[in-house]
Amino acid sequence: MTSIRFARPFAFIAIPFCLLALSCTSEDKSKEDTWSYHRADAASSNYAPIDQINTSNVDNLENAWTFEIKDMPKDARPGLSQCTPIIVDGTLYTVSAKGWLYALDAKTGEQIWSFDPFDGGEGGGTVRGVSYWESGDDNRIIFGSGDRLLAVDAQTGKLVGEFGDNGAVDLKIGLRDDPKDLFIALTTPGIVYQDLIIVGGRLQDLYGSPPGYIRAYDCRTGELVWTFHTIPLPGEPGYETWPKEAYKTAGGVNNWAGMSLDPERDMVFISLGSPSYDFYGADRLGENLYGNCVLALKASTGEYVWHYQTVHHDLWDYDLPAPPNLVTLNRDGKTIDAVAQITKQGFVFVLDRETGESLFPVEEQKVPPSYMPKEKAWPTQPFPQKPDPYSRQTFIEEDLANYGKESHDSLLKKFRSLRYEGMFTPPDLKGTFMFPGTRGGAQWGGAAFDKETSTLFIRSMDAAELITIVEEKTDVGENASLIEQGAALYGSYCASCHGPEKKGSDVYPSLVDIGSRLPKEVINDKIRNGVGMMPGYASIFDEAQQEAILAYLLELEEGSSAIANNTKTDNSSEETRYLNTTGYTTWMDSEGRPAVKPPWGALNALNLSTGEYEWQIPLGNYEELQEKGAPPTGQEGKSGPVVTAGGLIFISGSEDKQLRAIDKTTGKTLWQTTLPAMANATACTYEVDGKQFVAISVGGTEENPSGSVMAFALPKS
C-alpha cells in the first residue's frame, strides 16, 4: 500500500497518535496526518502538521484543480454541499450536494469513481463527511445517506455486500419507536474505533421525535454491537432527571454534531443536543440528562464514563453544535489532557479528559423562571467564569441596529413588546428575545486546535432570534376543508422557515407554485424524509395530515375529509402543546438586515492554557452595511477553521464567498480569493507527492447547480 508521507518540520509533532498497536486499525501511522478523519484526526483538531504553504508564501496560492460535479439537472436550484473531504492514500473522498459519493485523485482532481446511493432517485440531504475503515486490503468508506448507513468499497466505489443488508444498515431500527414512522438522518459522519463505527444522527426537533441513542456497528458486517440510551431507561443513571414515564415518549438528546476519539484511553466523546420539543418542556420536567451533555463513553463497549451538562432542561435549542476538541494544555508547568466544548451560548467548557471536571471555575447562576403553563424552567444554569464568552450574551436597546428611523422604530417597538431578562429567558406567550439565538454562538464547523500553541480557533456569530410561541393548532374543526387543515399545519410547522406566505427567505426556498416545479411524489417525499437542511416530518404527520399539507401547497380543491385533531404522536394526555413559529432564523428588520448592531460574525483565538483570547476579528463583511471608518461587519457562517503548522488558518463559509488564509498569530488576513459561489463547508489540507493542497466543497452556480470541489496550491516550485 502506498501512503502519503510528508516532511515533518517539527520533531515533537511526529509522535504517533496511536502508541498502542491495539488501538489502531492500521499499521500505517501516517494516516493520522493525511486528513483521514472528518475533522483531520480522531481528536477533531482540524489541524494539519504541514507547512509547505506558510505565512511567507501564501500570497502565491492559486487554484490547482477544480472538479465540476455534474449530478444534478441543469435547471435545478443550486446545491450547497457541506462536506469536508477526507484523504487516504492519495485519494480524496467527498459527498456532493445531491448526496453522491466521489473518489478523486487528490493531486489532479480527476474522478476515480462515483457512487449514487439513491440508485437514480432524487437524492439530496446534508452530508458533512465520511469515515474510513480498513483491515488488510479491505478498505471502506462508511457514511450516512439519509436514514441509511452505507459501506462502499474504497477501491471500486461499489456497496460492500457483507455489510448490513447488501451494504446498508437501516438507522431507523432500534430507536425505540416504530421504524416506519421515524425520521433520522446521519448528517455528520460517525467515528471509527478499531472495527466499530460509532454513530449518532439528526432528528426532528418537534414533539414525537425518537430518542437519539448512540450506536456502534461492526465495520465488517454492519451488526449492531452496542447502544447507549441518551434518554436513560429505568435503572440507568440519569433516569431520575426525567418524569417517570418519559423514557417511553421523550425524544431528541441526539448527536448530530459529531464525536471525537481518544484511542489510547478507549474513550469516545459525544456532543449531545437538547431534548425535544426544543422550546417547551412541560412533558419532560427535570434536568433531562443526557441532554446538552458532553458524554464520555468507553468506545469498545459503550459503557458510561462521565458526563458534563452544559444546559439543564433546555428550552432554547442550545444543542452542543460541534464535536468536542481533544486538547492538551499547560498549567503550572504540567501538561493536562482535556476536552474543549464550544457552544451556541458562546461559552467554552474545558474539561479534564479523564474525569470530566471543569478546569476553570463554573458557577451555577440563577436564571429567570418560565411563565408558560405547566412549564418549570431549571432555576440555575452553568456559567464558566473563564474563558470569557466569544459571542455577545447581553443586550440593551442601544444594541439594536439603526439603519434609519423607520427601521429602528419598528425594531425598538418589537423589542419592547418581548420578554427579555438576559440569556436563558424562557420562551413566553408574549414572545421572547433570544441572544445568542439557536444559530449561536458557535456552529457545526467546530473549532480548530493548534497543538503547537494550545490555541483554539473558534468561528462565532452574534445572531439574535425571536421566540414566538403559539398554541399548536391542528384542530381546525370538523368542517374545515383539506386546504384549511393544511394551512393550519403549515402555520404551525413550516411558516417559521418558509414564511407565512410561502415566499421563503435567506436559505429557505419559496414554496409558492411549488406544484409547477416539482412532482407531487417528490414533494411528498421531501416533507416526509427531509431535504438538505430541512428535517423530515415522518414522525410528526399521519397520512391524512400529509394529504392536507399537500393540498395546501398544491392548492388542490378537494372535498373536506376530517383529519385527526392532533399529530400522530398520540397526545393522549390532551395537554396543550406550543410551537415557536420564528425559530431557527436570525431576527432581521423588514429589509432583511440583522436587527442587532454588528459584528455578526467573528474568528476568535483562545489560548487554552491561560483562558485568555490572543485576538478576535470580525470575519466577512457587508460593504453596504459597513459604516464609514468602522471595522468590517462580520457575517454569519457555520463552517469551521482549519489550522496548519505553516502558521495559517483557512476559512470560508460566509456570504461574501471568500476563502481566506489568516495568520494564526496575528489574525491578519494574508490571502483571499473569491469562490464562484458560497462554500458552506469546512476546508481540509493535505500533502500528496510532496505538494500541499487546500481543498473545499463549493456551492452550485446557475451554470452548474451541482457545485464543485476546488483545490489550491502553490505554483510549481
CB of 426 to ligand HEC, least distance (A): 21
Interface positions, 530-569, toward ligand HEC (CB under 6 A): 531-534, 537, 549, 553
Nearer Cβ to ligand HEC (231/494): 494
Per the CB < 8 A criterion, the answer to whether 425 and 462 are in contact is: no
Per the CB < 8 A criterion, the answer to whether 157 and 101 are in contact is: yes
Q: Is 100 in the site for ligand HEC (CB under 6 A)?
A: no
Per the CB < 8 A criterion, the answer to whether 71 and 96 are in contact is: yes
Nearer Cβ to ligand HEC (360/584): 584
Nearer Cβ to ligand HEC (444/537): 537
Binding test (CB under 6 A) with ligand HEC, winner from 527, 548, 605, 696: 527
Instruction: Please give the size of the binding site for ligand HEC, defined by CB under 6 A.
Output: 23
Return the C-alpha cell found at 49: 502538521
How far is the CA of 547 from the CAs of 80, 298, 564, in angstroms?
30, 45, 12
CB of 493 to ligand HEC, least distance (A): 4
Spatial CB neighbours of 218, under 8 Å, sequence gap ≥ 6? 195, 196, 225
Q: Is 498 in the site for ligand HEC (CB under 6 A)?
A: yes
Residue 277, preceding bond cis, omega within 30 degrees?
yes
Binding test (CB under 6 A) with ligand HEC, winner from 304, 383, 420, 508: 508
Nearer Cβ to ligand HEC (31/526): 526
Interface positions, 347-366, toward ligand HEC (CB under 6 A): none
Question: Letter for the amino acid at 691?
Answer: K
Nearer Cβ to ligand HEC (400/531): 531
Nearer Cβ to ligand HEC (124/286): 124
Distance of alpha carbon 594 from the chain centroid? 22
The span from the CA of 124 to the CA of 109, in Å, is: 23
Nearer Cβ to ligand HEC (532/599): 532
Q: Choose one: 167-175, 178-186, 313-321, 509-517; the region binding ligand HEC (CB under 6 A).
A: 509-517
Q: Is 507 in the site for ligand HEC (CB under 6 A)?
A: yes
Q: Is 128 in the site for ligand HEC (CB under 6 A)?
A: no
Interface positions, 359-418, toward ligand HEC (CB under 6 A): none
Per the CB < 8 A criterion, the answer to whether 151 and 135 are in contact is: no
- The 629-668 site mask, x for binding ligand HEC (CB under 6 A), equals ----------------------------------------
Spatial CB neighbours of 580, under 8 Å, sequence gap ≥ 6? 278, 279, 427, 467, 468, 469, 496
Q: Is 496 in the site for ligand HEC (CB under 6 A)?
A: yes
Per the CB < 8 A criterion, the answer to whether 259 and 268 are in contact is: yes
Binding test (CB under 6 A) with ligand HEC, winner from 50, 442, 523, 617: 523
Among the listed residues 700, 618, 622, 619, the one whose alpha carbon sits nearest the alpha carbon of residue 653: 619
Sign of CA dihedral 679, 124, 44, 343: positive
Nearer Cβ to ligand HEC (280/415): 280
CB of 200 to ligand HEC, least distance (A): 19
Nearer Cβ to ligand HEC (112/522): 522
Interface positions, 36-95, toward ligand HEC (CB under 6 A): 77
Place of cell 409547477: 516
Nearer Cβ to ligand HEC (351/463): 463
Nearer Cβ to ligand HEC (81/460): 81
The span from the CA of 491 to the CA of 499, in Å, is: 9
Per the CB < 8 A criterion, the answer to whether 612 and 664 are in contact is: no
Binding test (CB under 6 A) with ligand HEC, winner from 151, 297, 514, 617: 514
End-to-end CA distance of the chain: 28
Residue 441, preceding bond cis, omega within 30 degrees?
yes
Q: Choose one: 285-293, 431-439, 507-515, 645-653; the region binding ligand HEC (CB under 6 A).
A: 507-515
Return the C-alpha cell found at 480: 374545515
Per the CB < 8 A criterion, the answer to whether 682 and 637 are in contact is: no
* Residues engaged in binding ligand HEC (CB under 6 A): 77, 124, 493-494, 496-498, 507-509, 511, 514, 523, 526-527, 531-534, 537, 549, 553, 584
